[in-house]
Amino acid sequence: MIKLFVLDVDGCISYPFKTPDWDTLTKIRNLNLKSRQEPDIPSITLCTGRPYPYAEAVAQWLDIRHPFIFESAGLYHWDGNRIETGIGGNTANGQGMNSIHAFKEWLTESVIPDYPDILLEFTKMMDAGVVSPNTSQIDQIYNRIMEHVEKNYPELEVHRTEISVNTLLAGNNKGTGIELLSRELGISSDQMAYIGDSEGDLPALEKVARPFAPLNAIERVKEVAEVLPYETSGAILEAYQRLIKQNK
């Protein structure tokens, strides 16, 4: 029985920098609403690398009322407007975060000036992320970041998507996010499904009972997940319908 379906945002709910498919998202939202009366329908929540304000907006679109994960391992509780963090967390001013702050300074001073299309994700708390609609620059930026991390920051790990590179405390990834959700909701990972498309989703996909990937996912994700014949939100809707069928 799958009780919780956890969704990545970029590349799954919608494409970055493109208008979402509102008709499909409405169908997903309506199934989530029905889950409150029909136990065969799993409820949904988010596990995204996006910063809290963006994740909160997407949660509102889909009428999510469970806690959700932002920045891979930050847990937001609607009750009391509380934020909890995973490994290296509970320490917004702690030693681990000093590395993130120093890394952001390096990005700002040494990388971003060379690529006028990229932006520092300035609202992030635990992640030194850069994002760009110019996907041709991501490979170059990723290689520079990896070289700098391997040389100077063994305590950090790096994930990339088509439009971003995210540098975070080692272990503070989406696998930790799934663990936080499991503990908070009392739902084990073998009662969860997850859909993701990028490298950063692998720690979560490897933990759950039903891992899914949209057609637009990278090959490494497709190797560990059930690949759906649709992209982004169409894949989420297809996976949701398969989970409901399985539960029934």
Pair 53, 33: CB distance under 8 Å: no
The Cα 84–Cα 236 span in angstroms is: 27
pLDDT at position 171: 86
User: Which strands, in side-by-side order, build the sheet including 43-46?
Assistant: 43-46, 4-7, 192-195, 210-213, 226-227
pLDDT at position 93: 42
pLDDT at position 32: 98
* Positions of the chain with pLDDT lower than 50, given as ranges: 89-93
**pLDDT tens per residue across span 184-232:** 999 999 999 999 999 999 999 999 999 999 999 999 999 999 999 999 9
pLDDT at position 91: 43
In the block, tokens 């739902």 appear at: 187
Strand-pair category, 127-131 with 164-169: antiparallel
pLDDT at position 50: 92
Ordered by where they begin, the domains of the chain are: 4-87+172-247 (3.40.50.1000), 95-169 (3.90.1070)
pLDDT at position 92: 44
